[in-house]
């Protein structure tokens, strides 16, 4: 068991991000055994869950004529328009059936505000509206985070960068992550995580 000041953050291992899902990440389900094994090593374990209303502003279907994966401008900056995914209460929003959810101390739902997306486990995409995770971790005495999950180049990367900026030590375990890699997004995300001070471990 690792020291009590270390936490495992498992990002969005949900059906819609796994093969067959609405926004599938290639090999997304392959990480589940590794993630489950890691749960035994950490005293503090947090799962995040994308949890969108059907009218979410980040869905291409809610922008007439817009194609999935196109860019639009939101009040908080550029936003990728995604296929509808992880809609509250649906099978797609549920965790992968083989993911061990019982060991989690906290399940944090994000992206539930209709007008703003939320990649990071710490902030909405305006980089200002907090999810409350920072306070939870700090009141539990956590200083070091290991991040795993989906997808490396979006929700994992945003979470890692925010965590580092908030003063946590951050390790991203890439073997327990998978990426979308949209137009070079994986290389860009890796550069951004390293620049923020996160450790990338194979």
pLDDT of res. 82: 96
Which amino acids are annotated catalytic? Answer: 12, 110, 155
- Express each pLDDT in 2-31 by its tens digit: 999 999 999 999 999 999 999 999 999 999
- Distance CA(180)–CA(69), nearest Å, equals 11
pLDDT of res. 182: 86
pLDDT of res. 142: 98
pLDDT of res. 103: 96
- Distance CA(146)–CA(164), nearest Å, equals 11
- Distance CA(127)–CA(149), nearest Å, equals 21
Phi, psi of 69 (to 5 degrees): 75, 5
- Distance CA(17)–CA(150), nearest Å, equals 7
End-to-end CA distance of the chain: 21
Greatest CA span in the chain, whole angstroms? 52
| Cβ-based neighbour number of residue 179 at 10 Å | 22
List Cβ neighbours of 56 (8 Å cut-off, separation of 6 or more): 62, 84, 111, 114, 117
CB 199 within 8 A of CB 163: no
Torsion region of 73: left, alpha or beta (phi above 0 gives left; psi -120 to 50 gives alpha) = beta
Residue 49 is given by DSSP the state E
Residue 123 is given by DSSP the state B
pLDDT of res. 105: 97
Averages of pLDDT over each 10 residues, the chain, 202 residues: 96 98 97 97 97 98 96 94 97 98 98 97 96 98 98 97 98 97 93 98 92
**What's the predicted TM-score (pTM) here?**
0.96
Could you give the count of Cα atoms lying within 13 Å of 138 in the half-sphere of its Cβ? 9
pLDDT of res. 8: 98
pLDDT of res. 19: 97
């Amino acid at each position: 068991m690792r020291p009590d000041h270390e936490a495992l953050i498992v990002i969005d291992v949900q059906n819609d991000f796994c093969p067959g899902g609405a926004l599938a990440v290639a090999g997304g389900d392959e990480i589940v055994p590794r993630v489950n094994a890691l749960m035994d090593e950490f005293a503090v374990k947090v799962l995040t869950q994308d949890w969108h209303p059907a009218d979410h502003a980040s869905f291409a279907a809610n922008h007439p004529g817009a194609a999935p994966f196109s860019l639009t401008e939101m009040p908080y900056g550029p936003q990728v328009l995604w296929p509808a995914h992880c809609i509250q209460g649906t099978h797609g929003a549920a965790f992968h059936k083989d993911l061990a959810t019982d060991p989690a101390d906290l399940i944090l739902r994000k992206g539930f505000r209709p007008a703003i997306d939320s990649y990071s486990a710490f902030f909405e995409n305006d980089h200002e509206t907090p999810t409350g995770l920072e306070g939870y971790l700090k009141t539990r005495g956590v200083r070091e985070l290991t991040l795993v999950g989906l997808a490396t180049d979006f929700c994992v990367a945003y979470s890692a960068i925010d965590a580092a900026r908030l003063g946590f030590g951050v390790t991203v375990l890439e073997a327990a992550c998978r990426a979308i890699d949209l137009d070079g997004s994986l290389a860009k995300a890796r550069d951004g995580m390293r620049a923020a001070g996160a450790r990338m471990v194979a």
